[in-house]
Structure 1
Amino acid sequence: MTDNDLLPLLEQRLLGLYHPLLADTVATILFSAGGLANWTVEVERGRARARRGRPSHPTTTVRAPLSVLTEVASGSRSGVQAFLDGDLTVRGNLALALELDGLFPGEDDDDTRTYTRSVRAAGMETFFLESGPVDAPPIVLVHGLSATNASMLPLIPALSKDYHVLAPDLPGHGGTEARSGAHGAPYLGDWLVDFLRTTCGDEPAVLIGNSLGGRTSLEAALLQPDLVRGLVLLCPAVAFRRLRQLVPFVRIVPDEIARLPVRIPRRVAMRGLRQLFADPARIPEPWLDAAMDEFIRVISIRANRLCTFSALRHIYLDEPFGETGFWERLPGLVPPALFVWGDRDVLVPAGFARFVAEALPSAESVILPDCGHVPQFEYRERTADLTRDFLATLT
């Protein structure tokens, strides 16, 4: 490679490459090392080419020192790992940035890298991340409302050495297809069951879910316990037991109201994102920026906005009691489970731990002090340690 010029390496790596997941994509990725050191990768229907300079409106911007960009482009270092290490930042379309390890793959036998995949689950094209040995026990990570599988990234390198890790985007989130329908627990549970059957076959998987992903994982385990080996539930969005005065009103509000154009000011959305954490200062600012870019990108798409709003409505409408009520069904959960709560979670109070203990005396429950709603980001090592310790107990 010519000193201070990434272009020869980019051209070499992209020559003859065809990326099937980008077959319908037309986009530009700006690689910037600062100042005039800029290179553009133009993606068009599965193929890519590089040139010097910057595009007028990049789809995704990747910034890092030239040495880091060289490592990523050469395949000697995972782009995902460089992002998690804080050596690389991403702005714009985060889902496209997650394709970096596919555009610039490493060694064929390197199981530690994270790759993007796609399958059809419940009739929907489902985008997911994959890492770890394919013959290892499967683990499926399920993210929360208005997030993407990127919100589960901190757990992937912690688990992929010993497990086959898959992290799908929920329907209507990230890169997964958006379809109309009531996005309640039954709908999402059926989708996850089909994803498990499609990707894991007959081997039961451990499900690790955050927020809505936790509730979706519980539903899948209640529907098909034979497909689930165990559950790690990070602040799961369980059914409200109180504060249900607005249920009659919410029932009559149609999902279709979300079809109306909406613009959420970035500063307002960022304030809401920060409130998910007990101490937002624990989260690197580039991570917050990347998450906010992706949220605004996805929520601006009408079909995705409809799915997100429908899922939000049904979190509140989730029946707590009665024959089909969540709390009446929970004692029938078969797979072993670990529940992790944050004592400063403003969305799912840690007080739910008491009711879970009554319904599932055998389940393990941990309340993390000074933690908000996303423990896998706020307490990365502690959450990974709890998860690994629980996995070690499974037979």
Structure 2
Amino acid sequence: MTPSAIYRTEAGEAEIKRRYLDLLDRWPVPHERVRVATGQGETFVVVSGPPDAPPVVLLHGSGANTTMWMGDVTAWSRHFRVCAVDLIGEPGLSAPSRPPLGTDAHARWLDEVLDALGVDRAAVVGASLGGLLAADYATRRPERVDRLVLLCPGGIGRQKVGVLVKAVLLRPFGDRGLRRGVRSIAGIGADAPFLDQVVLHFTHFRPRLERLPLLTDEVLRRLAMPTLVIVGERDAMLDSAGTARRVRRAVPHATVVVLPGVGHSITGQTEEVLGFLRA
């Protein structure tokens, strides 16, 4: 897969990466930009916080990159060595590789990333697609995951398709239609500061279209580490009630939080997650 294959045009790819680098220049705390060689291609990681602090690995959602954590990293990096990883196959600076979901390919990739960073064991925080990958990794490599935080995770509750159809139907109506579609999918308010970035991504980026594999109850029961799951009551992409129900049944020690009136895009949980990570 060539770098432009996950984008609609080369110009669109260039604009997304230019905007991304501009935002990284405004990263709110001192940081390092690390490039790691893996079997899936190069992986880009933004590392913040004291070198001797306990490590926390962040995995963002589909159609996003590490900038989704800019509102959290100031608080988290006071206490942790925060490693924000650009997922492969997404609109960041990592390789465009998209190994199949539901296999051990992403776990092996993350092994390589953590090994290169010198991280033997870490807390892992994942959102949406990153939540699926985080949960999958924790079930396959429990010895490497100290704590697990899942924000609107994929792979547990049923994936909804109606809202995606609606977004496709709105695309021909130009920027206004695309904005309505993005807001419907992500549950983002019209005045959200990151709405423009999300619209830019979905204008030029080709997101994954395959259905997310569901982790079975047997697999979920392997999550023996302290686990926090936060979902939005009005998630238009995933069955959040189903996610909460399945986690409570299969991972009874987990803390499950359902945010009333909140959609797929979960913000404002910086202190909640920090408190859990520090417990």
Shorter-chain TM-score above 0.5: yes
Corresponding position of 2:218: 328
Contact 1:211–1:235 (8 Å) recurs in 2 = yes
Query: Aligned ranges for residues 110-129 of structure 1 at < 5 Å?
Result: 112-129=29-46
Aligned to 1:280: 189
Q: 1:97 aligns with which of 2, 22, 44?
A: 22
Compared CA separation, residues 142 and 92, structure 1 to 2 (3 A): closer
> Once the two structures are superposed, what CA deviation does each residue of 1:105-142 show, in whole Å capped at 9, x if it has no partner?
xxxxxx93244321123442011212111211111111
Shift in Å, 1:296: 3.1
1:154 alignment partner AA:
G
1:235 aligns with 2:235: no
Equivalent-residue separation in structure 2 for 1:281 and 1:264 (angstroms): 17
The within-5 A match list for 1:192-341 is 192-202=110-120, 204-239=121-156, 265-278=174-187, 280-281=189-190, 283-284=192-193, 287-297=194-204, 299=205, 305=206, 308-309=207-208, 312-315=209-212, 318=213, 320=214, 326-341=216-231
What is the deviation of 1:196?
1.9
Deviates more, 1:175-184 or 1:360-369: 175-184
* 1:251-288 deviation digits (Å, cap 9, x = unpaired): xxxxxxxxxxx99954443223212454604622xx21
- Provide the C-alpha distance between the structure 2 equivalents of 1:142 and 1:114, rounded to a whole number of angstroms: 17
Assess if the C-alpha contact under 8 Å between 1:93 and 1:294 holds in 2: no
Would the aligned equivalents of 1:116 and 1:127 in 2 still touch at CA under 8 Å? yes
Paired residue secondary structure (1:232): strand
Match of 1:384 among 266, 270, 273: 270
**Aligned pair in 2 of structure 1 residues 93, 271: CA closer, same or farther (>3 Å)?**
farther
AA at the equivalent of 2:210: R
Q: TM-score, normalised by structure 1?
A: 0.58
Cα distance in 1 for residues equivalent to 2:187 and 2:87: 25
Following superposition, the deviation at residue 183 of structure 1 comes to: 4.1
Deviations 1:233-265 (A, max 9, x none): 001002455889xxxxxxxxxxxxxxxxx9995
Taking structure 1 as reference, are residues 99 and 358 closer, same or farther at Cα in structure 2, changes over 3 Å only?
closer
> How far has the Cα of 1:222 moved from its partner?
0.9
Identical aligned pairs, as a percentage?
31
CA, structure 1 residues 275+375, in 2 after alignment: closer, same or farther (shift >3 Å)? Answer: same
Tell me by how many angstroms 1:314 deviates: 4.3
Alpha carbons 1:337, 1:363 under 8 Å: kept: yes
Task: String of CA shifts for 1:190-241, please: whole Å, max 9, x gaps.
Answer: 3223222221432x11111110100100111111111111111001002455
Instruction: Provide the rounded CA distance (Å) in 1 between the counterparts of 2:42 and 2:272.
Output: 32
Tell me which residue corresponds to 1:130. 47
Instruction: Name the residue aligned to 2:254.
Output: 363
| Structure 2 unmatched runs, 5+ | 1-13, 162-170
Q: Output the CA distance in 1 between the equivalents of 2:247 and 2:275.
A: 20
| AA of the residue aligned to 1:327 | D
Count of aligned residue pairs for this structure pair: 255
Give the equivalent residue in structure 2 for 1:353.
Answer: 244
Which structure has the larger Rg over C-alpha atoms?
1
Partner of 1:150: 67
Instruction: Report Cα offsets for 1:311-339 as digits up to 9, x if no partner.
Output: x4141xx1x4xxxx532211111221100
Q: Which amino acid aligns with 2:38?
A: A
CA distance in 2, matches of 1:273, 1:183: 24
How far did 1:99 drift?
4.5
SS of 1:389 mapped into structure 2: helix
Change in Cα spacing, 1:153 to 1:225, as seen in structure 2 (3 Å) is same
